[in-house]
Amino acid sequence: MNSLDTLARPLRDLRISVTDRCNFRCSYCMPKEIFGKDYPFMKQADILSFEEIVRLATLFSTLGVEKLRLTGGEPLLRKDLPKLVTQLSKIPSIKYITLTTNGVFLAKYAQSLLDAGICRVNVSLDSLNNEVFKAINNMNIGVEPVLKGIFKARDVGLEVKVNMVVKKGLNDEQIMPMVRFFKEEGINLRFIEFMDVGSSNGWNMKDVVTKKELYEKIHEQYPLEPIDRDYFGEVAKRYRYKGTKAEVGFISSVSETFCGSCTRARLSTDGKLFTCLFASSGYDLRTLLRSDTTDEEIVERIRNVWEKRDDRYSEIRTEESTSKRKIEMSYIGG
C-alpha cells in the first residue's frame, strides 16, 4: 500500500488524541465539577498503543493525510511521547507533525520534541493575568510555567503559535494585553471563539466574542492587513500587523463557519474516528486493529466513513442542537 489513494473529498489533517488526562481542569473543556480527582479515566488497555497509532497514521497517509497533530487531554502526559513522534516522522507521506499543549511541561520536552520531528507547537494560553488564568485552569497554576515553555520552544527552534479562547466576562479584558505582549515577542497569536464543544462547559451564545468584534478591537489600535491562506482548509483567518511580520489570526467556527472546507479527521485516545469536533459518536477502529482485519480493509472502512460524512454542525447550530450530547474535548482533542 505505497501509492496514494486519493479521496473525492480531501482529507489532509489527522488529529490524534494520545491521552484523555490533563493537568488542568479547564473551565472550557474539563470543568472540575465533572472532571474531579475521582473521575474514571480510561484504562490503559483501552488506549491505543504507539504501534497502533503508527499503523493507523500510516493507513490514513495513503488516503491523503499529510499533517498529524498530537492532542489530548494534555499530550505531554503520555509517557515517552517523543518516541511516538520519531516513529510517526518516518511515515513517508507525512510532511508535518505538530502538537497542541497547555505548555506546563513544554520547557522540559521542547528539545526532545524538536529532535523527534515536531515542527510546531500550539500552546493554549487564555490570559497573562495570573488570577484570571488560575480561574480558567482550576488548578492554581500561574502563567509563568506556560511562558517558560513558550520561550523554550521558540529558543530551540520550534515554530510556536499561541491559542486564546475568549469568553465574554471571563477573559475578554485580556485581549489587548495578549496582543501587545505576543506582537512584541514576534509570536503568532490565534483567537478562538468560545465554542460549544462537549456537553459540560456551559456554553451560551451570549458568552461568545465574535471574530468581527475581536478584529475591530485590535485593528483600532494596530492596523491589520490580510494574509492569503497557505492551503485549502486552513481554518484561521490570518492578518499581519501593518509594517511588521508578526501575525494574528481568528478561528471563527461560531460566527463564520467553515464546514465546507474542512479537511480534518480526529482519532480519539481509544481509537474512534470522528469526522467533526461536534460529533456525538465515533467509528470504532481499535476493534479492527485488534482483529485479523487487513490494512486494506481498514483503509476501505475509513474511506467509507469519510466519503459519507455530512457534518455541518457549525452551519446549522441552533438552540436545540447545542443542548444535544457531544463528545468532550478532553477525549477527542482539539
259 is in an annotated binding site: yes
For residue 236, what is its C-alpha cell?
484561521
28 is in an annotated binding site: yes
- Listed residue (48, 149, 58) closest to 104, CA to CA: 149
What is the rounded distance in angstroms from the CA atom of residue 302 to the CA atom of residue 32? Answer: 35
195 is in an annotated binding site: yes
What is the rounded distance in angstroms from the CA atom of residue 19 to the CA atom of residue 300? Answer: 26
240 is in an annotated binding site: no
What is the rounded distance in angstroms from the CA atom of residue 331 to the CA atom of residue 267? Answer: 9
119 is in an annotated binding site: no
100 is in an annotated binding site: yes
First to last CA, the chain: 29
Q: Cell 489532509 identifies what position?
A: 12
The residues, ordered by sequence, that sit 6+ positions from 32 with a Cβ below 8 Å of its Cβ are 25, 138
Instruction: Specify the long-range contacts of residues 139-148, CB closer than 8 Å, at least 24 apart.
Output: 139/23, 139/24, 139/25, 141/23, 141/24, 141/104, 145/103, 145/104, 145/107, 146/102, 146/103, 146/104, 146/106, 147/103, 148/106, 148/107
276 is in an annotated binding site: yes
- Listed residue (233, 319, 321, 325) closest to 282, CA to CA: 325
What is the rounded distance in angstroms from the CA atom of residue 204 to the CA atom of residue 160? Answer: 30
135 is in an annotated binding site: no
Which residues are annotated binding-site positions for [4Fe-4S] cluster? 22, 26, 29, 259, 262, 276
Which residues are annotated binding-site positions? 15, 22, 26, 28-29, 69, 73, 100, 124, 161, 195, 259, 262, 264-266, 276
Which residues are annotated binding-site positions for S-adenosyl-L-methionine? 28, 73, 124, 195
Which residues are annotated binding-site positions for GTP? 15, 69, 100, 161, 264-266
